[in-house]
Structure formats: C-alpha cells, structure tokens
Amino acid sequence: MARILEVRYANLADATVCEVHHESQADLCWHEAAYETQATGDANWFFVQYGNRASFKIFRVKHENQADLKIFKVGLIEKAGWRDTDHPLRGKLG
C-alpha cells in the first residue's frame, strides 16, 4: 500500500515529484485514499505524518525538469494509475 510522507528536504526523499497541470503530462495519476486500508498499489495514496509509517517519501518541486516523477491527482480511483508504464519507480511506491 502507498503510505506517502511529504518531507521538508529533498535529501530525505525517495523521489522528487512535480504536480503537473494536465493528466496527459503525468507519469502517474494518483488518488488520495480516505483511510490507510484503502491505499493499494502505487496510485492510491494515503498520507502519513511520521517516517516510520511511510512506504515512500516525496519532496515536491515546482518545475517538471527537477522531478523524478510527474504526478496528477484524479478524483476517481478508476482513473488512477501509471501513464508511463516503463517508469523506473513503477512498483516502488506501495
């Protein structure tokens, strides 16, 4: 399950991410789970407060060229998933 922690410093993150404006620009479209038990796979995220609870740590950046992963938040879980199926982070978030 993808338990995500947003960290304050890039050196503490597993990956840098940039939230893009359009779904077609994203490597991964993600959905935010309301409960930890609903977070499954790479695309259904639950945000945690502590590092020991996280399966993956991210640091947000402003520009796409600074990011390891380009993400786009979707409202429906059915729309969540990888757009770049060959991305090196695939299978590592959850």
21-62 confidence digits (pLDDT tens): 999 999 999 999 999 988 889 999 999 999 999 999 999 999
**Angle, CA of 69, 54 and 49, to the nearest 5°:** 105
Least confident of 27-31, 65-69, 90-94: 90-94
Which residue reads 């740590």 in tokens?
A: 57
Tokens in use for 68? 């390891």
In which region does residue 91 sit, left (phi positive, over 0), alpha (psi from -120 to 50) or beta (all else)?
left
Where residue 94 falls among pLDDT bands split at 50, 70, 90?
confident
The residues spanned by each domain of the chain are 2-79
Q: How far apart are CA 29 and CA 75, in angstroms?
A: 10
What pLDDT, in 10s, does the model give residues 19-28?
999 999 999 9
